[in-house]
Structure 1
Amino acid sequence: MTNYTQRAVKGFFWVFLMTMLGAVIGYVYRMVLARNLTVEEYGLFYSLYAFMSLLFLFRGLGMGQALVTYISKYIANEKLSEAKIVFNYCVKIIGATSVVLATSALILSKYIAIHYLHSVELVFEVRLFSLLFLFQGIDQTMAQILTAFQKHFKYASFQFIRQILSLIIVIPLLKFGLKIQAPIFSYIITSLTLLVLYFSWFGKKLIPKIKRINKNKSITKQLWTFGLPTIFASLGGLLLQNIDTFMISILKTTSDVGIYNSAVPISSILIYVSTAVSTVMIPMTSELWAKKMYTHLKEGIEQIYKYLLLVTLPLVGIITILSKEIVILLFGKQYIAGGAVLKILIFAGLMGLLSTTNFNVLFAIGETKKIAQYTLFGGAINFLLNLLLIPALGLKGAAITTVIGYTLMFVLGFIHVKSKTKVTFNKGHFLVIFIGAITTAIGIIINSQFKINNLISGALFVLVLAIIYCSILITTKTVTVKEIKELKSKFIS
């Protein structure tokens, strides 16, 4: 068990560290866009991004997810020939579908520009997006391969390099006078650069050295059985993540899309946490399940719930209290309306993180059909409620529906995980939630007495809340000094 715990702690640490550094760069990237584009142009870019994400949903037909799970499984059992079969087959399917979808988008570019963006002048931007999603499919596949082989540091550095390259490239493009073409070109150039940097290393260092690859119908059947349901899970996920932007662009204006997308990236900070968890959790859970180490798996999942709540609840509290100030700081006063949206969306981020944790477990043990059902249900509810609440409540309505959708997904996912692994949401978890709520309440009182209007006062406010939070955790023995030392030793050793 110690070996698995050490791997989990080390893996999560590096992925989390590099992911959060990448997140900071990502926020700087959005700040640069927001301050160099008008609110309408900023909204137009993300309207197009949301639409193309829906179109490219079928890229890979679920083979990317199958690649992560089955390579982990075969490597754990030292079946390198089978791992090579999985790798070759999945990569071919992903490549073929990416080309077909990109070609289709290029052919339909004029139709999309006229009927969705309502401007024939944006045909060029639609075509650029088609190429962008083709190249992003390549580096997404490389990231999935690193995850499958549990190369956590390599995965984390890969994602960080992607973020920082995008930022370095977009700044001069904006200075040269490009508008929404600037972020598109920056992403395309970044993807091509990553391909050049990593491709040869993948072939020499990572992929199993098996000269002859025999066809195996049994394995390919398993891949399709596993992979196809994940398309519907991805559809539900996109309905939750992008349908708000898509429907706001139809029911409201592109300026409203811009305002809404000032809140989305901040609330998505918890998604970065879930990315780090997923990268470590999926292949390791798959390995433990394959080896029938059910007790270790149960204990590990319960610990993950606890530490996720420990880390994220104070963050949720701080963002809730300072939502308006955070939006103004990052995007400017023209986006101030996004503060009210962020106050709601941050809870969608929290529920999304917890539901993703459940789905990581189900994904790793092969329950992809259940993931698809629960995600589609949450996405469908989000879509239907958007039709009602966006006209009635505007951007706040879109945020509320997202919270509801993710909450339903979490409840359904947890019930199923519990039935499979006997995992429980124990008193310790509820104590963490209670302490987080108490700390947030204290923060609201402090904020009402002392106006926080600059970086120094904001930093002091966060420091005071952190001290209060940690003090309560230690006093109530929710976290012990011994526990901290054990985690430290598992990372260092």
Structure 2
Amino acid sequence: MENQYSRKIVSGAFFVFLFGVLGAFVGYLLRFILTSNLSPEDYGLYYSCLSLIGLFVLFEDFGLNSSLIYHISKFRVEKKFKKLKTSIFTVFLIQLFPALIVSIIIFFSARFFAINYLHLSENILKGVLVIKLLAIAYFVQIFHTLILSILQGFQRIKLYSFVNFCRMLFYFTITWLFISLNFSVISPVLGFLISYLFIILIFSPFALKLIPKAKICFSKKLTKKIIFYAFPIMFSSMAGLIIGYTDTILITLFRGLPEVGIYQTAQPTARLLWFFAGAFTTVLFPLITELKTKNINFLANGIYLLYKYIWIVIIPFALMAFSFSRDILNLFFGPFYSSGADVLKILAIGAIFFSVVQINGVVLNGMGKPKNYTKIIYLGAIINVIGNIILIPIIGITGAAVSTMLTYIIMFFFSFVELRKFIKVKIPVLKWSETLIAGFVSLLSIYFIKN
């Protein structure tokens, strides 16, 4: 039985990682095309608008997608197919109307945001159009997210990974097409919107086939269960959005669009390091729920092995990003964006700690303890916002990176405090120390050779 689940985790993680890396490569090509064809101001404008829209995702998700994945996994094991099907449609209906209302509000407030958030005095119409198109994409996203939640809940991990890769491929291709037609900053917006529409049309039949042929029986009891599980996740999602987007938003407000452009080349480069842990967490979430439902207790050993090897894998890549940060940014984005080298160095260190936070978070959620993960995320959000407000006006994008790194380190320690309340996992302190020392020696060698 243990071998069966180990194979599931390794096989699923391999496909998530493979398509994740391919998708990241396509995403990198997309940014390369954007930085080559757009001015730093337009590049910064697009990502400032994306960050703004990203903050409103809470009002479309409400933590319900994680709740849906949890309940699909649970009801599959218990063979309660009526409840399973009802859960899917309950989540969809709860999300539909708030998403539509928020989308309409953003659409008709586009001019307000263009003037007061983007600080546009000229080309206001350009900013307004970008925000309006992204408002439409905001609503369309709920159908895309529902498809992914169904695939993940039913543990169709290979198809789940392929869907994400295809969306990035469509996003890149459509953006490149519109750039060649001189649509300027509108190009990535159209690529973003149309890629979601294509994915929904192509993959919704696959998701619908997985839904069992059973009667839908809406009930207050089931709806309460779904919402009560989602409620703490909603708050952790809110805090996660704050951590993910406030740096870009505050850079926009305090420093301007060109610095947003620089930050938005260094930050996604550092986030490539998230794929190593992310590949496992995507597979782990529904599996942990299944293991908990079946009362299978070899979870602690599996988590220990993940801890043991995740740093061995991630640290060499983090050191490469740290050592060659300026060269990487200069190679892919040009001399102007290489000034984000210090940001990339700092965020690469932060990514090492965040890899473990990802694992601990998904274990807590999968065990049905989302409230405990919410505490960790909220602590991180508070530290991140305070750090950004203090540091960004003083040292700009470097301050945003320092604030984010400190947030990840503090979350790293507190995630163990919360997890060990429910499962006595071993922490491979010796192995981590050896890896860090070896990495530090390698780093000194690289600097010696470079000099």
Q: What's the TM-score, normalizing by structure 1?
A: 0.88
Opposite residue 223 of structure 1, the aligned amino acid is I
Residues in 2 aligned to 1:149 and 1:36: alpha-carbon distance in whole angstroms: 41
Alignment of 1:13-52 (within 5 A): 13-52=14-53
Residues in 1 aligned to 2:352 and 2:245: alpha-carbon distance in whole angstroms: 17
- Which of 142, 147, 152 is matched with 2:147 structurally? 142
Corresponding residue number in structure 2 for 1:489: none
TM-fit CA distance, 1:432: 4.0
Corresponding residue number in structure 1 for 2:425: 423
- Which of 227, 231, 235 is matched with 1:228 structurally? 231
Mapped contact 2:392–2:398 kept (Cα < 8 A): yes
TM-fit CA distance, 1:350: 2.2
- Is the aligned partner of 1:208 residue 2:212? yes
For the residue of structure 1 that corresponds to 2:427, the secondary structure is coil
Residues in 1 aligned to 2:130 and 2:22: alpha-carbon distance in whole angstroms: 30
% identity of equivalent residues: 28
Opposite residue 44 of structure 1, the aligned amino acid is L
Mapped contact 2:243–2:384 kept (Cα < 8 A): yes
Corresponding residue number in structure 2 for 1:401: 403
- Is the aligned partner of 1:175 residue 2:180? yes
Corresponding residue number in structure 1 for 2:171: 166
- Is the aligned partner of 1:267 residue 2:270? yes
Mapped contact 1:60–1:93 kept (Cα < 8 A): no
Alignment of 1:235-274 (within 5 A): 235-274=238-277
Residues in 2 aligned to 1:142 and 1:400: alpha-carbon distance in whole angstroms: 36
- Is the aligned partner of 1:197 residue 2:202? yes
- Is the aligned partner of 1:156 residue 2:161? yes
Structure 1 residues 303 and 240 mapped into 2: Cα distance closer, same or farther (>3 Å)?
same
Mapped contact 2:383–2:407 kept (Cα < 8 A): yes
TM-fit CA distance, 1:75: 0.8
**Runs of 5+ in structure 1 lacking a partner?**
452-493
Mapped contact 1:371–1:413 kept (Cα < 8 A): yes
Mapped contact 1:313–1:433 kept (Cα < 8 A): no
Mapped contact 1:418–1:424 kept (Cα < 8 A): no
Mapped contact 1:60–1:95 kept (Cα < 8 A): no
**Runs of 5+ in structure 2 lacking a partner?**
none
Mapped contact 1:321–1:444 kept (Cα < 8 A): no
Residues in 2 aligned to 1:365 and 1:179: alpha-carbon distance in whole angstroms: 47
Q: What's the TM-score, normalizing by structure 2?
A: 0.95
Structure 1 residues 444 and 41 mapped into 2: Cα distance closer, same or farther (>3 Å)?
farther
Corresponding residue number in structure 1 for 2:416: 414
Residues in 1 aligned to 2:97 and 2:413: alpha-carbon distance in whole angstroms: 37
Residues in 1 aligned to 2:352 and 2:243: alpha-carbon distance in whole angstroms: 14
TM-fit CA distance, 1:367: 1.5
TM-fit CA distance, 1:18: 1.1
Mapped contact 2:9–2:283 kept (Cα < 8 A): yes
Opposite residue 349 of structure 1, the aligned amino acid is A
Corresponding residue number in structure 2 for 1:106: 107
Corresponding residue number in structure 1 for 2:292: 289
- Which of 271, 276, 279 is matched with 2:279 structurally? 276
Opposite residue 143 of structure 1, the aligned amino acid is L
Opposite residue 24 of structure 2, the aligned amino acid is A
TM-fit CA distance, 1:443: 4.0
Mapped contact 2:9–2:284 kept (Cα < 8 A): yes
For the residue of structure 1 that corresponds to 2:118, the secondary structure is coil
TM-fit CA distance, 1:436: 4.2
For the residue of structure 2 that corresponds to 1:188, the secondary structure is helix
Residues in 2 aligned to 1:59 and 1:348: alpha-carbon distance in whole angstroms: 29
For the residue of structure 2 that corresponds to 1:420, the secondary structure is coil
Corresponding residue number in structure 2 for 1:449: 449
**Cα displacement string for residues 64-115 of structure 1 (whole angstroms, at most 9, x for unaligned residues):** 1110111111112222121111111112222222212111111222211221
Mapped contact 1:309–1:433 kept (Cα < 8 A): no
Opposite residue 262 of structure 2, the aligned amino acid is I
Corresponding residue number in structure 2 for 1:316: 318
Mapped contact 1:314–1:436 kept (Cα < 8 A): no
Mapped contact 2:330–2:338 kept (Cα < 8 A): yes
**Cα displacement string for residues 279-333 of structure 1 (whole angstroms, at most 9, x for unaligned residues):** 1010001111122223x11111111112211211111111111111111111111
- Which of 171, 185, 190 is matched with 2:190 structurally? 185
Opposite residue 20 of structure 1, the aligned amino acid is V
TM-fit CA distance, 1:426: 2.6
Opposite residue 145 of structure 2, the aligned amino acid is Q
Corresponding residue number in structure 2 for 1:439: 439
TM-fit CA distance, 1:274: 3.5
TM-fit CA distance, 1:217: 2.0
Residues in 2 aligned to 1:133 and 1:8: alpha-carbon distance in whole angstroms: 32
Opposite residue 179 of structure 1, the aligned amino acid is S
For the residue of structure 1 that corresponds to 2:422, the secondary structure is helix
Mapped contact 2:315–2:439 kept (Cα < 8 A): no
Mapped contact 2:353–2:409 kept (Cα < 8 A): yes
Mapped contact 2:267–2:347 kept (Cα < 8 A): yes
For the residue of structure 2 that corresponds to 1:336, the secondary structure is helix
TM-fit CA distance, 1:373: 2.0
